[in-house]
Structures are given as C-alpha cells and as structure tokens.
Amino acid sequence: MSRRRLLYMGVSGFAGALAVAVAKDRLLIYPSQAVYNLKKDFKVVGQSSLKKRAAAKGLIYGAAFGRDFLASDKKLQASTVRECGILVPENELKWDALRPTPDKFDFTRSDWLAAFARTHKMLFRGHTLVWYQQLPQWFKEVVNRQNAEKFLVEHITTVTKRYAGRMHSWDVVNEAIEPDDGQQAGLRQSPWLQFLGADYIELAYRVAAQADPKAMLVYNENALEYSGYKEEVKRTAVLKLLERLKSRGTPIHALGIQSHLVAQEGALNAKKLRSFLSDVASLGLKILITELDVSDQKLPSNPAVRDRIVAGIYEDYLSVVLDEKAVIAVLNWGLSDRHTWLSTFTPRSDGAPVRPLPLDSSFKPKLAWNAIARAFDQAPKR
Ligand code: XIL
C-alpha cells in the first residue's frame, strides 16, 4: 500500500482498531479488512415508523426491553409504541428472574411487560425457557441428574401456561450448540446436557407445545452470521440439529438468529448466509432475527464515523437476510443506545458510550434507523 493510500484519518482516539483512508470516502478497518463507504447516502422516503415499514412487507419489527427501564422512562415508552410491533423481555423470563427459590415463581416483572405489550397492541414474545446461563443461585445445589427432568418440565409448563394463547413465539431452547465444547453433535456442555443427555432439547419442545399449542416454537442461536470457519461449523451443527428435530416430528417452527454483529470483526459472506437461510427454510421452518445490534467497540471514536459504519453493517446484513422470504421478523436487542447490554458486555476502551442501536440515547433516530427502514422498504413482500 502506498504512503498516500495509508493516509491516516483525522479521527482521534482509536480504540483497538486501525482505520485507514483508502480513498476520499472509504475507510478501511484493521484487522477485519472491511472497507466502509463513508459517503453512503442513507436516505429514507417518508416518515413512517419501522413497525409500519416492516408490516407493509408482511414483516414484524420490534425490540427487547427491560421492565425497569421501560417502566421508568416515558420517552422510551413513546418510542417503543411508535416503532415496535413486538416486544420481548430482555431478562424477565429467564430462570434467575422467575425463580427466587426452587418452589416459587415470580411473574411480577414479566407480567408488567406482557401488559404493556397488550395495552399498546404489540405482540409479545418469550425468551427463554432452556439456557445454560442466568440460572438461579440455588440451581447448582438443588438440580441434579435425578430431578433435572422434573424441574425442566415443571418450569416449561408453568411459564408457558401463564402466557398461553398470548405469546407470539417462544425461544424454547437458547444456544444449545457449541462445537468447541467437544460434545456429541456439537452440543454445548450445559447442565441440561450433563443431566438429561441430548434428548433434553426434544423434550423441551414437546412440553412447550403441550402447554401452549398456539405459540411459535423457536430454536435461538448465536454466532451463525459470519463466514469464518467457526461459524461455518456451527451453522452445519445447527442445521443437523434442526433436521433431526424435524425428522422426529418435534414441534419446532422457527430458527432465531441472534445477530449480535460486530463492526470490526467478522466478514459477511452473502452467498454462504443465503444458502444457510434457504437450507433452514427448506426444512419448513420460519426464521426470526431475534437480537440484532452492531457493536462499535473497536471503531474510531468519532461518533459520526461510527454511526455510518454501523448503519452500513445494518443495511448490508438486513438486505441479505430479508431476501429470504422465510424471514418473518426482525428484533433489535434494545431500541435506544441509552439502554444496551453492550455498554457493559463490550464497552469501549476510550470510555465513550457505545452506539449499537437504531435510536440514540435521546431517542432520536440515527443512520442505523435509516438503514433498517431502507432494508424494510427494499425487502420483497411476504
Ligand atoms: C443479555 C441481557 O441483555 C443482559 O442484560 C444480561 O445481563 C445478560 O443477557 N444472548 C441472549 C440474551 O440470548 O439473553 C442475552 O441477553 C444477550 C446474548
């Protein structure tokens, strides 16, 4: 690369990544080698909300919310009602939130979110019944090989029955595949696998279907989006799992692709992603984008530059996935940068607030909002 091409961008404070201008309007980010077009026009036609743009294509748009943030912030409530057609509790339906003791359930906070969704005519979705994380403190001492099935069945039955007929969809099992763990069929080493063996997955779907025959039952998974070797192996293992469940007549209806994208890292390979989506669709499954956000942890500090790069990633990703008609819903993991798990999960080393979501911290739409709106406007109708 010539010295002129290595012209250092006039953006201060690089947090881990090296950004180099390769042309007047193009920024190259190391180590991902991704080139971002900084002059891209994210023009949007009309004023309508993401919810309406999605609905015009037969799609559902929404986001995850924590009860405390939503209950205490009228502005967040107004943005939520305007933009979202579906709401998912960020933590309130997880084991550690619902199960203060082995024999008690506390639905206060999840009920609040369900009521908010209902009042504002939004769909409600559940996350998640079976996961290896966010288990209560007592779980380790109490649950074992002998009683694990009883706990699993009782939990799924009680929780799904509570919202039966009112749930659009349930992430029944979350993140069950981790090929790096070296278990059979790429399964993750989790307490459920350890206590019940591989059949815990099928059992979970059967119990959920019995308790709420109306809800769409989803298998939700992370790290499926990028083209790297690890992701390729994971996609293959997930497809095999879905094939097996379908071939055994398990009541499973959709795959949830979390879509926690990372600006400086993974490369998207549209061809590989499309073929994965079409393989899933050909099993007769729908697809939901369940937890979309774009980490800007390692991007240059200039917020305007970050916002452009993040928006470009949103539009590139959504334009690929929305081409697949089995994709029926897109949810962000949070709506505004004011409340995002990434501020603690992947904070920036320069201390600047992260900007991964469609609205800024004062609830103003950012370029990421435009990018999502454009992707919906360009998507084929379902
Ligand atoms: C995250 C929440 O956003 C955080 O508030 C919590 O501390 C940890 O969990 N994949 C998932 C979600 O399936 O449940 C996670 O949510 C984010 C990653």
1: buried, middle or exposed (CB in 10 Å: 19+, 13-18, 0-12)?
exposed
**What is the model's pLDDT at position 20?**
78
Residue 11 has pLDDT above 50, yes or no: no
Q: Is the CB of 91 within 6 Å of ligand 1?
A: yes
Average pLDDT value over all residues in the chain: 94
What average pLDDT does this structure show over 8-21? 53
Question: Which one is catalytic: 175, 231, 315, 324?
Answer: 175
Which positions ≥6 away from 47 have C-beta within 8 Å? Answer: none
Q: What three-state secondary structure class fits 64? A: strand
What residues does 178 pair with on adjacent strands? none
Q: How far apart are CA 35 and CA 355, in angstroms?
A: 19
Assess whether 149 carries a catalytic annotation.
no
What confidence tier does 39 reach under pLDDT thresholds 50, 70, 90?
confident
Give the range among 6-20, 35-49, 81-95, 277-291 with minimum mean pLDDT. Answer: 6-20
Among 68, 98, 113, 345, residue to substitute to test ligand 1 (most atoms within 8 Å of Cβ):
345
Distance CA 379, CA 56 (A): 10
Q: Which atom belonging to ligand 1 lies closest to the Cα atom of 171?
A: 13
Local structure of 308: helix, strand or coil: helix
**173: CA distance to ligand 1 center in Å?**
14
Could you give the CA distance from residue 310 to residue 330 in angstroms, rounded to a whole number? 17
Distance CA 48, CA 341 (A): 27
Query: Which of these is catalytic: 83, 178, 231, 291?
Result: 291
What is the pTM assigned to this prediction? 0.94
Instruction: Return the pLDDT at 12.
Output: 35
Q: What pLDDT is stored for residue 31 in this prediction? A: 65
Per residue in 154-191, pLDDT (tens digit) is 999 999 999 999 999 999 999 999 999 999 999 999 99
Average pLDDT in the 243-265 region?
96
The confidence score (pLDDT) of residue 26 equals: 84
Is 175 one of the catalytic residues? yes
Residue 115 reports pLDDT greater than 70: yes
DSSP strand pairing (216-221 vs 169-174): parallel
Count Cβ atoms within 10 A of the Cβ of residue 47 and give its class: 0-12 exposed, 13-18 middle, 19 or more buried: exposed
Tokens 């990421």 locate to: 368
**Which H or E run contains 312?**
helix 303-321
Phi, psi of 168 (to 5 degrees): -65, -45
- The CA distances from residue 273 to 105, 308, 314, in Å, are 40, 23, 15
Q: 28-32, 238-242, 250-254: which has the minimum mean pLDDT?
A: 28-32
Return the closest-CA partner of residue 241 out of 198, 183, 276. Answer: 198
Residue 160, phi then psi, degrees to nearest 5:
-70, -35
Inter-residue contact 235 to 276 (CB < 8 Å) = yes
Residue 83: which of 119, 47, 34, 133 has the closest Cα?
A: 47
Q: Side chain identity at 346, as an amino acid letter?
A: T
Structural domains in the chain, sorted by start: 3-378 (3.20.20.80)
In the numeric block, which tokens belong to residue 24?
């007047």
Q: Which amino acid is at 287?
A: I
Round to whole Å and give the CA distance between 309 and 332. 17
Distance 46 CA to ligand 1 centre (A): 34
**Residue 354 in contact with residue 337, Cβ under 8 Å?**
yes
- Model pLDDT, residue 5: 35
Query: Which of 329, 325, 29 is CA-nearest to residue 168?
Result: 329
Q: For residue 5, how far is its CA from the centre of ligand 1 (angstroms)?
A: 41
Q: Which pLDDT score, from 0 to 100, does residue 17 have?
A: 61
Residue 18, CA distances (Å) to 264, 266, 267 in order: 10, 15, 16
What token pair was written down for 374?
Answer: 């454009």
Cβ of residue 297 lying under 6 Å from some atom of ligand 1:
no
**Which pLDDT tens digit goes with each residue over 17-32?**
677 778 878 887 776 7
Q: Are 335 and 76 in contact (CB under 8 A)?
A: yes
Backbone angles phi, psi at 196, to 5 degrees: -115, -10
Distance separating alpha carbons of residues 256 and 325, to the nearest angstrom = 14
Question: Is residue 171 within 6 Å of ligand 1 at its C-beta?
Answer: no
pLDDT tens column, 201-222: 999 999 999 999 999 999 999 9
Q: How far is 178 from 185, CA to CA, in rounded Å?
A: 9
- Residue 74: Cβ-neighbour burial (10 angstroms; 0-12, 13-18, 19+): exposed
pLDDT at 267: 84
Terminal C-alpha separation, the chain: 46
Average pLDDT over residues 346-358: 98
Do residues 171 and 220 make contact, with C-beta atoms less than 8 angstroms apart? yes
CA 202 to ligand 1 center in whole angstroms: 24
